[in-house]
Structure 1
Amino acid sequence: MSLARSGILGAAVLWAAAFVCPASAADDKDPWNNPHPPFKMGEGLYYVGSNDYAAYLVVTRAGLIVLDGGDAETGKQIVANIRTLGFDPGKVKVLLNSHQHFDHAAGLAEIKRAAPGARLYASAADGPVIAAGGRGDPFLKGERFYYEPVKPDVILKDGQKVSLGGWTLTAHVTGGHTAGCTTWTFPVTVAGRVRQALVHCSATVLPGYKLGKVETYPGITAAFEKSFATWKALPCEMFLASHARFIGLDAKLKALEAGKADAFVDPEGCRAFIDRGEAAFRAELKRQNP
C-alpha cells in the first residue's frame, strides 16, 4: 500500500506502517506513484507501471496482456506507457490482477476504458472486492481505500492457465496479504534463453493484521503458511513483483541499460525475498501468540 494514502512518509522499508495515521493535506502526493519510463524486460515483456506500483505488458501475436492496474493515476500512466512503447492500448485482450488492494486494482477501470474488449481475470476471493471497488475488504475500510468498481469477466481457480497468442500464464492463489492474492508464473525469453518468470503478489503482514487465535479474516494464518510453501516450490528465475521496490527495479534497470541483458534474472533475490517475508510473518505470529 502507499505511504501517501495513509499519511506516513519515509523510506520503503517503513511502508508497512502506512496505516497508522490518517493522511494530511501535505501528503496528498503519492511518492510511490510517480511516472516511470516503460522499458523492455525480455522478449515480448515490458514494464509499464509507476515508480513503485508495478504493471507488466505482454505482447502476443493475438493482442496484449496487462498484469495489474496500479492506483487510479497509475492506470492512466499504464495506458500512456503502452502508447509510448508503440502499441495500441485498445488491443489489450487480457487484464490480470495480483490482488484487490487499491494500489493494484484502482487502475483497472482506466485500462478497461482504453480497451473495452479486455477480459479481466481475478481470483474467487478477491474478485468480488474488485467488483465492489474495494468495499468488502476485511481490513482496509474507508473512502481513501475505495475505487471505481470493475466486474471480473473470469473468476480464476488456483493453477488455472490463461493463454493468448502463444503465451501462457499460470495463476497461483497465494493468500494471506489478501485472501485471493495471486502470484503469476510464465516462461519468457531473456537474452536468448527461456527463463521462468514469477510475479510475486505480496507476503506483507500489514500493521494491524491479526494472526493465530484471533484472525483478520478466517484462515489468514493458514493461507500465509500455504503460500510460503507454494512460493518456495515455484520456479523463479526472473524475479518480478507487484511493487517495483520489492525487486530493486531501478538498480536492475541501470544494469540492463549498462548492457546486462538478463539483469532481472535473479533467482537468489527471489528466494531471499520469500525468506524475509516468511521470517517477518513468523515473528509477527509469535509476537501475537506468545
Structure 2
Amino acid sequence: MIATLTLAALLAGAPAGDSLTRPMAVDRAGEWLAPLPPEVIFRRSYLVGFGGLSVVLIDTGEGLVLIDGALPQAAPAILANVRKLGFDPKDIKFILSTEPHFDHAGGLAALARDTGATVVASARGAEGLKAGALAKDDPQRAYGGSWPRVAKVRVVKDGEVLRLGRTAITAHATPGHTMGSMSWSWQACEGRTCKTIVFASSLNPVSAEGYKYTAPASAPIVQGFAASYRRMNAMPCDILISAHPDNAGPGRYNAEPGACRAYAARSQKLLGERLAQERKESTK
C-alpha cells in the first residue's frame, strides 16, 4: 500500500532527467510528502495528497477536477493515487491552484503536461505560476527559489463559478498569505444530504526574516487578510480542507461545525500577535 512507502519509493515514479518533476531541496519535503492512501471526503470528492500537503480530486461525472499540485516531485504519486481510485488521469479537465508557492504549485506544470488539463488560478496567482517565482510583494519573497513554470493558465475572478458535469466550483479570493491566493468551494450530495466542501488556501501570516507586516508597503497584505477573514466567516462550509492539513486541525480535513470560522480565527490571532510584536519592537 502507498501508506507504507518511503519517500524515496514515492519519488521513484518520476522519470529520470524530467525537469518538471526534479526534486526540490526543501527541508520539510519528507514531512510534507508523507505518503497517505487516497481517501473519500464525501460522495465523489477525494483526497489524493500527502500528510502535509492537501491535494483534492473531484469526480464531476463528466470529467475530473484536481486542486493543487504539491511539490514538483509529488506529481507521479498524485497521479498514482488517482489511478488507485479507479480513474484515468487523462480525464482530469481542470487543475485549480490555491496559491503561487512551490509547495502547492510546484507540481502543476508536470500534472498539466501529463493530463492535458487546464490550470486555473486568480490573475495574480496566474502571474506567479507563469513566472515560477514569488511575487515582489510576497511576505516570503526573500526566501527566493523557483519552480517549474506553467505555460498556460486560465484566469478566474472572485466569485466566478467553474462548471463541469454535475459540479459547480466557486472561486473565492482569499489574499494575505499571497495576494493571488484563491480558495474553492463546491457542493457534494448523497441522496438528499448535501454538504458544501471548502478547499481553503493558506491563511498563515508567515514571512521571510526581515519582513514587517507593520511597514506601510505591507498595508495591502494586512487588508487582504482582513478581507479573507470576512469571506471565510460568511462562507457556507460543512467540510474544510486546508492547503496544509495541520492548519485546520487534526486529521486530513475538518467536518466540525464552524470549521471555516475557526480557520480564519486562528490566522487572525496569529496576525494580531505578529503585528503587536512588531509594534513593540519598533518602540524599543
TM-score range, shorter chain: 0.7 to 0.9
Name the SS for the 1:46 alignment partner. strand
Q: Percent identity?
A: 29
Which residue identity does 1:123 align to in structure 2? S
Distance in 1 between residues matched to 2:115 and 2:123, nearest whole Å: 23
Query: What pairs with 1:22-61 in structure 2 (closer than 5 Å)?
Result: 27=27, 30-61=30-61
Which residue identity does 1:272 align to in structure 2? A
Number of the residue aligned with 1:221: 222
Name the SS for the 1:120 alignment partner. strand
Shift of residue 88, structure 1, vs aligned partner: 0.4
Which residue identity does 1:230 align to in structure 2? R
Which residue identity does 1:274 align to in structure 2? A
- In the superposition, relative to structure 1, how do residues 240 and 157 fare at CA in structure 2: closer, same or farther (>3 Å)? same
Contact kept, 8 Å, 2:51 with 2:252, in 1: the verdict is: no
Number of the residue aligned with 2:214: 212
Contact kept, 8 Å, 2:201 with 2:242, in 1: the verdict is: yes
Contact kept, 8 Å, 2:237 with 2:259, in 1: the verdict is: no
Shift of residue 46, structure 1, vs aligned partner: 0.4
Distance in 2 between residues matched to 1:163 and 1:26, nearest whole Å: 36
Contact kept, 8 Å, 1:161 with 1:169, in 2: the verdict is: yes
Contact kept, 8 Å, 1:70 with 1:102, in 2: the verdict is: yes
* Cα shift readout 1:131-172 (whole Å, capped 9, x = no counterpart): 011253534457973111003431111111111011011011
Distance in 2 between residues matched to 1:50 and 1:122, nearest whole Å: 22
Q: Identify unmatched segments of 5+ residues in structure 1.
A: 1-24, 253-263
Aligned residues between the structures: 253
Distance in 1 between residues matched to 2:228 and 2:188, nearest whole Å: 23
Number of the residue aligned with 2:112: 112
* Cα shift readout 1:35-73 (whole Å, capped 9, x = no counterpart): 211011111100001111101000122111001111112
Name the SS for the 1:289 alignment partner. helix
Number of the residue aligned with 1:3: none
Contact kept, 8 Å, 1:50 with 1:77, in 2: the verdict is: no
Distance in 2 between residues matched to 1:240 and 1:178, nearest whole Å: 18
Shift of residue 282, structure 1, vs aligned partner: 1.7
Q: Does 1:269 align with 2:253?
A: no
Which residue identity does 1:181 align to in structure 2? S
Normalised to the residue count of structure 2, the TM-score between the two structures is: 0.81
Query: What pairs with 1:61-100 in structure 2 (closer than 5 Å)?
Result: 61-100=61-100
Query: What pairs with 1:104-253 in structure 2 (closer than 5 Å)?
Result: 104-116=104-116, 118-137=117-136, 138-141=138-141, 145-189=145-189, 193-207=193-207, 208=209, 209-216=211-218, 219-248=220-249, 250=251
Distance in 1 between residues matched to 2:96 and 2:105, nearest whole Å: 10
- In the superposition, relative to structure 1, how do residues 152 and 283 fare at CA in structure 2: closer, same or farther (>3 Å)? farther
Q: Identify unmatched segments of 5+ residues in structure 2.
A: 1-24
- In the superposition, relative to structure 1, how do residues 187 and 142 fare at CA in structure 2: closer, same or farther (>3 Å)? same
Which residue identity does 1:132 align to in structure 2? A
